[in-house]
Structure 1
Amino acid sequence: MQPRHVLILHGWQGSGPDHWQTWLAEVLREQGVDVRYPRLPECGTPCPDRWGRALHEELAALGHDGERIVVCHSLGCVLWLREARRVRPQDRVHRVVLVAPPCPGCRIDELADFFPTGAHAAQIAAAADSTRLVCSDNDVYCPGTGAAHHWGATLGIETDVIRGAGHLNPEAGYGPWPAFADWVTGRRRDVVA
């Protein structure tokens, strides 16, 4: 079995100890997976340029001797979508999962500079072998048509919609998420369970 290298990108204000990303990092490390889970710069007042530089530094440092996976939540998804066009060929990854990305209409001042992303389907495809979107149908950070339409349909990203799951964070009941660990390790095709 080839080694796996996982980069986890949190959203605005970071992911706390009860968040599924923190749980995932711990579970994967216990299984011997190489996990990078950086705290992005000034996460309470995020700057797209600083976050972008941090992302590219992390991608360059991510192991190249096996499968490379990027796991994003919330603003971390928007970061990936913004920066996909700048991913160097040598830093390309195998799989990306975008969980609960906010949409431009969320009206949170701290997130405004991340929009528009400038993302295009060809750039997303060039940055990763496969990209998957996991979202809910009632995320307050993606009002209107929702993430499935705004990101999934528009960019041609394979999408899993979890009904009534809010922002897919601890407040919505997403702490431990065993299906997610199984997706990362290749034991299942999706994270919906």
Structure 2
Amino acid sequence: MSDTQVLLLPGWQNSDPEHWQSRWETLYGDKRVEQHDWMRPLRGDWQVQLEEAVLATDRPVVLVAHSLGCVLAAAWALHSRHTHKVRGALLVAPADLERDDLRQLIPGWSPIGRQRLPFAAHVVASSNDPYSDFARSRHLAADWGARFSDVGPLGHINAESGLGNWPEGRRWLQELQQLKKD
């Protein structure tokens, strides 16, 4: 058993059973941060749910975020006094909620927090993600002070991408889990 608690941060509409996040929850016992409303996400409410999940564990935390979950992690880090509990964050396919179509679809999440994250982070992006331009994902990684990995043309890096249990992503998570606080 790892000395960290993995908190899964799904995006809008949650992660379906075939999504790699759901598979990791089943296979490894990672904990999903449940939200009150997956269809109409409220930024403040989602941040409170994350804050409560971080405070509920006595172990260091590693965040594993997908899509809107990445934007949540950045927003939470800007306001929380408990970021010291986070060892790292794997931020997969961050959605560009500043884009006009997405800002209208999911209101209240723009602007995206662009501050350097107070913990290690690794952004993983696809070259053909329909919810974020590749260059935009690279810029978010730079703003957040995160390592950046290009996984090629995998769409939104979700169940439709055919990743199964996504062992490559799990290896990146394990790298974050092994980081030690100074």
One-letter code of the match for 2:143?
Answer: T
One-letter code of the match for 1:174?
Answer: L
SS in 1 for 2:72: helix
SS in 2 for 1:97: strand
Deviation at 1:110, TM superposition (A): 3.5
Other-structure match for 2:34: 39
1:57 equivalent in alignment to 2:46: no
Q: Aligned-pair RMSD on alpha carbons?
A: 2.3
Contact 2:66-2:94 within 8 A present in 1 as well: yes
Other-structure match for 2:65: 72
SS in 1 for 2:164: coil
In structure 2, relative to structure 1, the CA distance for the partners of 1:36 and 1:140 (3 Å cut) is same
SS in 2 for 1:71: strand
SS in 1 for 2:69: helix
Distance 1:52 1:27 in 2: 26
List per-residue Cα deviations over 1:31-52 (Å, max 9, x = no partner): xxxx321321211111101101
One-letter code of the match for 1:136?
Answer: S
1:133 equivalent in alignment to 2:127: no
Distance 1:27 1:107 in 2: 35
1:26 equivalent in alignment to 2:26: yes
1:113-152 to structure 2, matched below 5 A, reads 113-121=108-116, 124-125=117-118, 128=119, 130-143=120-133, 145-149=135-139, 151-152=140-141
Q: How many residues align?
A: 176
Contact 1:4-1:68 within 8 A present in 2 as well: yes
In structure 2, relative to structure 1, the CA distance for the partners of 1:2 and 1:145 (3 Å cut) is closer
Structure 2: 5+ residue stretches without partners: none
Other-structure match for 1:32: none
Match 2:93 to one of 100, 114, 121: 100
Contact 1:6-1:62 within 8 A present in 2 as well: no
Structure 1: 5+ residue stretches without partners: 30-34
SS in 2 for 1:76: helix
Contact 2:33-2:50 within 8 A present in 1 as well: no
1:180 equivalent in alignment to 2:169: yes
Distance 1:10 1:90 in 2: 19
Distance 1:171 1:5 in 2: 27
